[in-house]
Each structure stands twice: as structure tokens, then as C-alpha cells.
Chain A
Amino acid sequence: MTGIARVCSALLTGALTLVIACGDTGSEPNWTAVTVFMPSPPNATGDWDLPEQALSLEYILACGPDSDGSFGDAVPIEGTLEQKEAFQVGLHGPTRVWRGEIDFEPGPCMIQLRARDSDEEVICSYSEPVSFDPARDAEAYFNMVCFATCPTVPLPGFEASPKTFCAPIGGLIVSAETPAAVPGVQGVRYVVTGGQGFLDNQAPSLPVYEGALQRRGDGTANLGNGPVETSVWEGVAGEILANEIHTVEVTAIDAEGEPLCSAETSIEVFSGAIAHSHLILSCGD
């Protein structure tokens, strides 16, 4: 083993992800350092600002499944985690961090996390099957997302070793219209730029997606001087981080690839949404 440089085995379970960082085994191989991220929901309002309301976080761990795969006969291990620092991601409030140590048994286990408010009511519970070797896996990370589905998104550059993280994302479809009367339009290119990096508010804007839109047919638009025929272009950009502002730029190009006209807008995709960003290029028409 090469110590800290060893990298992770990500256990994909359903729509949520557990990431185990394989670090130095240390002198207490049976204790695994656990970190739970609890992000704020988008557009948090009033009663549903989960990280603010969660005053305690407990875990229940059951290991050694029965023959039918359930954990009904397992003796659960219970404990609590402590709230630590928070960090800001995007514009929708802090992501709270809870930390602690759990004595995992090797092999298949089921862990449940329960967040409780000031009345000790459970306001969010989250379960995930896990299976790893505590003698080898020194760290475990959970993303306790209680407000949306959470597909897996690989996000490079987090801490020292590559990890796969579970973060809110949405899909983005870009479309554009160009006036049919504008001569020389042979294609439309697009660039989607991310404003901020995950866990790094200072990251520069970087292209997330770029490419060419495909011709999808004809349309009609009224740009202010009556209806005009248009050419419709569309493309599926892909998945982008939700709750962060992205810039979408489309450019009509001629046969030589030279830009004829362009337009630019911004979009903030809601978690789990499929967003359509539609831009009309007037091209001086």
C-alpha cells in the first residue's frame, strides 16, 4: 500500500453516493472518521431550512445481513456526530458539516442518519448500505441531501485525492433561433461557462460544455417588427451543477466558422430539473 496516495473506492448506492477515502491506516484501524455534509436546499424558506434546524445528528449502524439481505437480526450500534464548521456553496446557504468516528464492522452494513430539531423531532432521515474494511478505509463521507434526488457527479480537485461526490445537478438543453433572412448562417455554436467551482468560490469561470447546436427545423418569431421565419437550432449540453449561475453564449457562424452574431444569457438550474435555455439571435434583423 502506498499510504495516503491510495485512492478511493466509491460505492454507488441508488442515487446517493458514499465515498471512502483510503488513507493511512493509523493505530486505530477499527475507527473510521466519518464526515457528513448537509447542504442547504435551493430557495430555502421558512420551515424548510434543514441545516439551520438540525441541532443533532445521530447514526444507527447495523451490520451482518440476514439470509434474506435484511438487517432485522443485527444488533444496531448507535451514536451521535458533532456539528463542525460550515462552508458556502453557491448562493443558497451554507453546507453544514458533521463529524465523528464510527466503529464499522467489515462487510455489508446499513447506516441510517437522523437529523433532529430543537424539539427532538426527526426532520430528515437518510439510509445507505455500505460495505468496506475499517482496517483499510480510514475515512467515510456522506452527503445527506434531503431535498432532491442526487445523481453522482465527479468533481475533480477536491482536497488532495480524487473523490466522487454527490451534488445537486440538473440537465441543460440549449436552443437558439436565427432569422431565416439573415444570409450566410451555417451553424450555431454554444459555450456554457460555470461561474464557481464546487467548494471553491474563487475558481475562475471555465467552459463546462461547448459544441455545435443541431438544426431542428423552422420556426416563427416576432422580434418587434412582425413575425419572421426563423431557423431553430438545439443541442443537449449535459449535466451541470444546480443552484449555481452558469453563462450560456450562442454564436451564429458562417461557412468559414466566422461569427456573425451572438447572444449571451445566464441560467441557474434547479436541482433535478431539465432546463431549456432558449436564445433568439436578432442578428441585426
Chain B
Amino acid sequence: MSAETPAEAKEIQSIRYVMSMDRSYVGEDPDWLERYSGSLALAGTGMTDFGQGAVSTRTWEVAIDIAAAHSYLLELTALAANEEVLCSVQKQVAIVPRAAAQIDVLMPCVIDGGGAQ
């Protein structure tokens, strides 16, 4: 999976991910159980458009070797050096059997002094 944050948001020191598995039965509200977690590594730079024209970005990546085919709630959290939460996003994803899953998330973190507007 990968995430993209504005390069101006220099306060972002790490991106943490948590993938929680839905252990509810059909028809019930989701009951999330944390299953995979860790951090994305800074992988490079890029360009993207958060809505105000193309800006430089930093890209973060991580690979989970094998994940059970199931419905997951993915939480990505951008953290400062002091572990302060700078921005975050949640996304439900379905991992299907025998297929590689690739998840790319655009995170427009609006941070004082930097980030997307």
C-alpha cells in the first residue's frame, strides 16, 4: 500500500497503518479486530494535485506479504516526531482470494505552515 502527502507538510515524520478485520456476521454492523499494523516507509517523491494545482508530494510505501481474504478497515495516520496525529484517513477495503491488493491513498494534510489547502 502507499500514501501520498504534500511535500510541504514536513512535520509528517511517519505514516502508521492499521488494518482491522471485520468479524461481524452478515447483516450486523462491522466489528473491527486489529489484524495488521506497522509503518509505511518513505519511498520517494512525486507530484499530485490536491485541488489547487500540481504540488510536490512525498510517497510512503509498505508491503504486507500475505493477508487473509476478507473485508478490512484500513486506517492511515500521519504522525509528527512527537507522535502527534497530524492527519488521518480510514478506508474499507476488500481483499479477494488469489489476487494482489494494491491500495494507494492521497492524503491532503492541511498543516499550519504547509500542506494542501
Contacts and interface: CB of A to CB of B under 8 A. Distances in A.
Interface majority SS (helix, strand, loop, mixed), chain A? strand
Interface residues of B, number: 33
Contacts of B90: 219-221
Interface residues of A, number: 35
B100 A279 contact: no
Interface in B35-69: 46, 48-51, 54
Nearest to A221: B89
Contacts of B9: 224
A222 B93 contact: no
A261 interface: yes
B117 interface: yes
B57 to A, nearest CB: 9
Contacts of B105: 278, 280
B102 interface: yes
Nearest to A222: B88
Interface of A: 170-171, 175, 177, 219-225, 227, 249, 261-267, 269-270, 272-284
Given A224-B111, A281-B51, 15 more contacts: A177-B89, A223-B109, A224-B9, A224-B110, A263-B106, A264-B54, A265-B48, A270-B100, A270-B102, A273-B101, A274-B96, A274-B101, A278-B89, A278-B105, A282-B110
27 contacts: A221-B87, A221-B89, A221-B90, A222-B85, A222-B87, A224-B111, A227-B88, A263-B51, A264-B48, A264-B49, A264-B54, A273-B102, A274-B101, A275-B102, A275-B103, A276-B91, A276-B102, A276-B103, A276-B104, A277-B104, A277-B106, A278-B103, A279-B106, A280-B107, A282-B117, A283-B51, A284-B117
